[in-house]
Amino acid sequence: MTCIYCRGELESGTTTHVVTSDDCVIVVKNVPCLVCSQCGEAYFDDTVTEQLEKIVNNLKNYVTEIAVVSYADSAA
């Protein structure tokens, strides 16, 4: 598979996903993804995307300013 931006090769890896919503910052660390070896762009599959949405939506109800969570701990 190749990157849609630079045509670099995609490799398995992890990334940090940051969401800003309603004056709240949510940081999800160690998110599994495919990472472009050339430009570093991260790509999530459907399962990871759905899980990220669940994590973010759950934290929005509890966080007032900032939250930092690990994907593996939150996806379990």
Residue 4 lies in a domain: no
**Mean confidence (pLDDT) of the chain:** 93
Look up the pTM and report it.
0.86
Residue 10 near residue 4 (C-beta atoms within 8 A): no
* pLDDT band at residue 27 under the 50/70/90 scheme: very high
* pLDDT band at residue 26 under the 50/70/90 scheme: very high
* pLDDT band at residue 76 under the 50/70/90 scheme: low
Residue 5 lies in a domain: no
Residue 64 lies in a domain: yes
Residue 7 lies in a domain: no
By mean pLDDT, which of 5-9, 35-39, 57-61 is the weakest?
57-61
What's the number of domains the chain is made of? 1
Give the residue numbers spanning the domain of 55: 15-32+44-75
DSSP annotation string for 41-56: -EE--HHHHHHHHHHH
